[in-house]
Structure 1
Amino acid sequence: MTKDPNKSCTMKVLLLLTLLTLCHAKPYMPINVMNFVKHHDIMQQDAGDYDDDDDDDDDDYNDYDDNVVSDCPEGCRCSKKVLQCSDQGLTKVPKDIPANTLLVDLQNNDITEIKEDDFKGLDNLYALFLLNNQISKIHPKAFRNMDKLNILHLSYNLLTQVPENLPKNIQALRLHDNKISRLPKGAFRGMQSLNVLELSANPIANSGIEAGAFDDMATLYLRIAEAKLTAVPKDLPSSLTELHLDYNKIAKVESEDFLRLKSLQRLWLDFNQIKYVENGSLAGIPKVREIHLDNNKLKKVPPGLNNLKYLQVMYLHSNSITYVGVNDFCPSRTRVKKTLYTRISLYANPVKYWEIQPPTFRCVSSHNSVQLGNNRK
């Protein structure tokens, strides 16, 4: 069967959107394995096929529902290619997992350690769910030969470091809500297929991110929220299209912070302690479409917004902004083309909104796109 390239592209986009949705699951929410199997077309992964033809789907899901494997680890449920052992009070990884398994679900148990041979022989494994256990140690060779592993969830554990020798083809790596405080040089070396890297709710400070921590890697989405950052980390992956640094203690945005991030489209810096944004800082992200700077300590609109051609959404509410200039958001030259704003939020600032000149919002899509209001304490 000839693959439709447009269809394959659509499937990859849907995969990324699904992974992003999962990244915001806090507190711990169990992954619904049945929905995951359906949305990720697990039954086709061993063939490397993203084709979701309706007839094939019916056969595949019948495989999952009806062809239950009898030779299955105690307390688990095995289909032809899926092993479910969640919520069983397990203290270690079950033995004798069928070699053709594509998905292993061990979430919400009491596993404390991943040993060298726990997943030996599972060379076709596509997804591994280990979230919400008590894992504090992973053997450096635990993931060897897992060249087809695309999704690895290790959130809500007790890890103090990024696992060594991670498979290079992983598309989604979730490590949030652990005890990781250090990202050593080359921690994610060679991971060029990564779509989502989630590191939030770890005690990561700027001093814990070594130079070269993100060398030789590419990722589209990076989240280091709820950490101990006091500044924007340096040398972030240049491939980023979405960056979340919310709920930290960042005090300012400096001119060199985003110089590498030419592809960035969405930026979250809300709920920090940012007092000012240096002139020229935002020029480094010319393709940005959405910026969150709300719930900070800004006293004025950040400079350079009027030069961001594609910026459509700007959140600045709950700051200390007292004045809005006529050219703060829109180009000063009328002939300069700019994508219209769909939302500008300025409420909960001490600015006197009735003193803002009408032309200030001349480049918004409608009056409803601007949110103003009194400063409410």
Structure 2
Amino acid sequence: MDMYSLQDVPPDLPASILRLDLQGSWIKELHRQPFDALKNLQYLDLRGNRIEYIENGTFASVINLRTLNLSRNGLGDSQWSNISSSLPSLQTLILSDNRLQQLNGLSFSDLRNLTFLDLSSNAIIVGECALCGQQRLQRLDLTDNEISTLPNRLFHPQSEIEILDLSNNRLQDDVLEKEELWSGLARLRKLDRNFLPGAPIVNNIVKAIETSRKTIYVLTRSFLRSGWCEFELQLAQTPDNLFGKGGSCRLILVFLERIPRPLLKKYKHLEAVMDRDTYLEWGPPWGNP
């Protein structure tokens, strides 16, 4: 069977199948019948088809499905409920490169075990409490959408999100100031939001440093010779940017190579941080200078 010429999911697949890969075919619609017997199916890859319609109840029988990839299709908002219903075991859902626009509280109301959700490269606007039911979600990709702001209530109060990617959107300045929005993300360790396209580089640098809780500098001799990097470092060393509330240091230094102290003399605050706080030496042992 030539998978690349398929226009429908084969109706006579063995019931014992665990993985089904039909990517890059010409499938335009998904119907319930081919999936009714696939109760053991755990992995389904339908990326790169032409799917615009999913029949209601299509996935009702695949109760053990863990991963569903529907990226690079033509799915719109009318298909939300048909995508997400009746998948109690689903952990990974990939919907990038579709035609989705509205993300709201009903979009994933039946999915309670998601750990990875990829909605990148759509035209999504995020609605109130859109992810309030996703406590177990650990990684969320919202890159390349139409997001300019986020509601105050978006995540579960005890959210387990660790990685959140919002890059290549046009987020407004006040998003990072919404305390209620971020207060429940105690496990968040990586937030990508990128510089604003078209803004002067100086403005982007200043805004990134001033709105960040911590600034991490990976130091090498090349870094110290760079004009832009020198500007960033000098800006980070101003008292307002260097120290947070209670006198805690907001600057974290990581040295990738040994840098003699004389090269650091013009960075007075940097030397003070090195003398006062712990810094990291990364890579193989340097040995003697």
TM-score range (shorter-chain normalised) is: 0.7 to 0.9
Among all aligned residue pairs of Structure 1 and Structure 2, give the percentage whose two residues are the same amino acid. 23
Assess, with a 3 A threshold, how the Cα gap between structure 1 residues 326 and 174 changes in structure 2: closer, same or farther.
same
Aligned to 1:228: 146
Aligned to 2:261: none
Aligned to 2:222: none
- Is residue 84–residue 111 contact of structure 2 (8 Å, CA) maintained in 1? no
1:246 match: 167
More helix, by proportion: 2
CA contact (8 A) 2:255 2:282 kept: no
- Change in Cα spacing, 1:304 to 1:214, as seen in structure 2 (3 Å) is closer
Equivalent of 2:90, from 170, 174, 178?
170
1:208-233 alpha-carbon deviations (Å, 9 max, x no partner): x3323223223000010000111245
2:202 & 2:15 partners in 1: Cα distance? 50
Cα pair distance change 1:262/1:182, threshold 3 Å: same
Counterpart residue identity of residue 142, structure 2 = I
Judge conservation of contact 1:330–1:361 (CA < 8 Å) in 2. Answer: no
8 Å contact kept, 1:251–1:272: no
* Aligned counterparts of 1:356 and 1:251: Cα–Cα separation in 2: 34
**Aligned partner of 2:11 among 87, 91, 95:** 95
Q: What count of residue pairs does the alignment treat as equivalent? A: 247
In the alignment, what sits opposite 1:183? 103
Q: Distance in 1 between matches of 2:34 and 2:64?
A: 17
Find the aligned partners of 1:139 and 1:164 in 2 and give their Cα distance: 12
Match of 2:61 among 133, 145, 151: 145
Deviations 1:301-350 (A, max 9, x none): 225635xxxx8679xx89x967331463466878x699954389xxxxxx
Distance, in Å, in 1 between the alignment partners of 2:45 and 2:202 is 34
Please name the residue that 1:17 is paired with: none
Q: Distance in 2 between matches of 1:329 and 1:367?
A: 22
CA distance 1:109–1:303, change in 2 (3 Å): closer
For the Cα contact (< 8 Å) 2:21–2:46, is it kept in 1?
Answer: yes
Cα distance change, pair 212–269 in 1 and its aligned pair in 2 (3 A): same
- Aligned mates of 1:233, 1:295 — CA distance in 2: 29
Aligned-pair RMSD on alpha carbons?
3.5
Amino acid at match of 1:299: V
Residue type of the alignment partner of 1:227: N
2:188 to 261, 264, 272: 264
| C-alpha displacement of 1:244 | 0.3
Q: CA deviation at 1:154?
A: 0.3
| 3-state SS, counterpart of residue 132 of structure 1 | coil
Asked if 1:328 is matched to 2:241, the reply is yes
Question: Counterparts of 1:295 and 1:186 in 2: how far apart (Å)?
Answer: 41
- Distance of 2:281 and 2:95 partners within structure 1: 41
| Greater shift in the superposed pair: 230-239 or 181-190 | 230-239
Q: CA deviation at 1:104?
A: 0.7
8 Å CA contact 1:272, 1:295 repeated in 2: no
1:302 is matched with: 210
Q: Deviations over 1:11-64 (max 9, x none)?
A: xxxxxxxxxxxxxxxxxxxxxxxxxxxxxxxxxxxxxxxxxxxxxxxxxxxxxx
The AA in structure 2 aligned to 1:264 is L
* 1:358 aligned residue (265, 270, 281): 270
User: For residue 114 of structure 1, what is the amino acid of its counterpart?
Assistant: L
**TM-score normalized with structure 1 length:** 0.57
Aligned pair in 2 of structure 1 residues 295, 90: CA closer, same or farther (>3 Å)? farther
| Paired residue type of 1:265 | R
CA contact (8 A) 1:270 1:296 kept: no
TM-score (ref. length: structure 2): 0.73
Q: Distance in 1 between matches of 2:202 and 2:65?
A: 39
Q: How far apart are residue 192 of structure 1 and its match?
A: 3.0
Specify whether residues 149 and 354 from structure 1 end up closer, same or farther in structure 2 by C-alpha distance, changes over 3 A only: same
Query: Aligned pair in 2 of structure 1 residues 154, 176: CA closer, same or farther (>3 Å)?
Result: same
The code of the aligned residue for 2:280 comes to: S
CA distance in 1, matches of 2:163, 2:38: 32
Q: Which runs of 5+ in 2 are unaligned?
A: 219-227, 257-264, 284-289
Distance 1:261 1:156, change over 3 A: same
Counterparts of 1:295 and 1:157, CA distance in 2: 39
